[in-house]
Amino acid sequence: MALSGKPPTPVKRLEADSIWLEYGGRNVLQNIYIKVEVGQITGLFGRNGCGKSSLLQVIYGTRSAQNSSVRLDGHYVERVYRHRHKLAYLPQHQFVPTQLRVAEAFDLYKSSLAYAHVLFPELSDLLVYRFNQLSGGQQRLLETIMVVTSPAPFVLLDEPFSNVMPLHVESLSSLLIVSRASKGILLTDHYYHDVLAISDTTYLLTNNGRSILLRHPEQELRDYGYLT
């Protein structure tokens, strides 16, 4: 049978459901449900140690859980990271090999330099440098730009604003706002004002490892003791 030649239908929804993670005798995540949709930025809040990074790792597929269901448009996907250009992930730690030049890293990740240049014109001056020649803040900024401008329709960002200059936090926020037209973005960071300012949907992870969809984010974050 001849193939129709039609491009695949773009994926619109990422769901993480029934996630249960425990280690060291402690329940870290319990029956978590989070939905990320293309066209939206989803903010994820929670105190240190409540399992935010672990949740992102389970969704991405690099951490095993006692139970989990990660779905793209309702279809279960095991270890999403093995499926090319489905999900891009920025971990807390540096992930680009330090000997790579910036231009090489962008090319390997299939990230769009032209797209990134619009908000970060200084990127042109950094392309020839190796990552180990850059400051920690520059490395973090570039890794975040790479992940956001990759071909993946969904993006997980674990503290992208960490160690980044305030001016670049503003530029990264603008990049995320522009990018959400074609992507679904899940974002967690302790710069909660910056996350709240750009989020369309927000969840809170409680200290007992449960997820709560917030209808009135700032007030509910205060009610639950996340903000004082």
Where exactly are the structural domains of the chain? 13-223
Decide: pTM greater than 0.75.
yes
5: pLDDT strictly greater than 60:
no
Give the model's pLDDT for residue 11.
Answer: 82
pLDDT of 219 higher than 90: yes
pLDDT tens for 7-24 read 566 789 999 999 999 987
Instruction: Estimate the share of the chain in helix, then strand, then coil, as percent rounded to the nearest 5.
Output: 30, 25, 40
% of the chain surpassing 90 pLDDT:
78
pLDDT of residue 207: 84
> Which CATH code of 3.40.50.2000, 3.40.50.300, 3.90.226.10, 3.40.50.150 fits the domain covering 13-223?
3.40.50.300
Query: Count H helices, E strands: the chain?
Result: 8, 10
Over 70: is that where the pLDDT of 101 sits? Answer: yes
pLDDT (average), residues 106-124:
91
Of 45, 63, 67, 82, which is closest to residue 159 (Cα–Cα)?
45
Report d(CA 42, CA 26) in Å as an integer.
Answer: 27
The one-letter amino acid code at 132 reads N
* Residue 70 pLDDT exceeds 70: yes
Question: In sequence order, what are the residues at sequence separation of 6 or more whose Cβ sits closer than 8 angstroms to the Cβ of residue 219?
Answer: none
What is the residue-wise DSSP string for 71-123?
Answer: EETTEE-SSGGGSTTTEEEE-SS--S-TTSBHHHHHHHTT--HHHHHHH-TTH
**14, exposed or middle or buried, with CB in 10 Å at 0-12, 13-18, 19+?**
buried
Residue 13, token pair as written in the block:
């929804």
